[in-house]
Amino acid sequence: MSAIRPRPKWLIEDTHPDLFQPVDAAFREVMDPEIGLNIMELGLIRDVSINEENLAHVVMIMTTPFCPYAPALLENARSKAAEALERETTIEMGMEYWDPSYMEDGVGADWGLF
């Protein structure tokens, strides 16, 4: 069984550290309807950045390659990020494969994983 991996450091943590907490909290409002956990608990947000034009960009992965809820989850995450970051936000579905070890510490115990 694999150990919990720490969440990857987001670019905004260095460039806009004051925005980390608001966007983290906003993402915790986005629930995966099949699993019943939020996208932060699942470790689906891989990066959040703000470019030179002051536009935000989010990279998010899905728990399965053909998640039927992907379009709704992506749009909900984008919308919540735009609201929390107070700027235009784009979202990209990353191609990285999700692994249960991406889940926050303690969350996988409910599934008998950790």
Q: Cβ(23)–Cβ(15) under 8 Å?
A: no
State the pLDDT at residue 105: 84
State the pLDDT at residue 114: 45
Helix (H) or strand (E) holding 85: helix 70-85
Q: Where in the chain are the domains?
A: 29-101
Phi then psi dihedrals of residue 77, to 5 deg = -65, -45
User: What pLDDT, in 10s, does the model give residues 61-81?
Assistant: 999 988 999 999 999 999 999
Q: How many CB atoms lie within 10 A of CB 105?
A: 11
User: What pLDDT, in 10s, does the model give residues 5-58?
Assistant: 788 999 999 999 999 999 999 999 999 999 899 999 999 999 999 999 999 999
- CATH T-level topology, domain 29-101: GMP Synthetase; Chain A, domain 3 (3.30.300)
Q: Which amino acid is at 92?
A: E
State the pLDDT at residue 5: 79
State the pLDDT at residue 65: 86
pTM summary value: 0.90
Categorize the per-residue pLDDT at 1 as very low, low, confident or very high, splitting at 50, 70 and 90.
very low
State the pLDDT at residue 6: 81
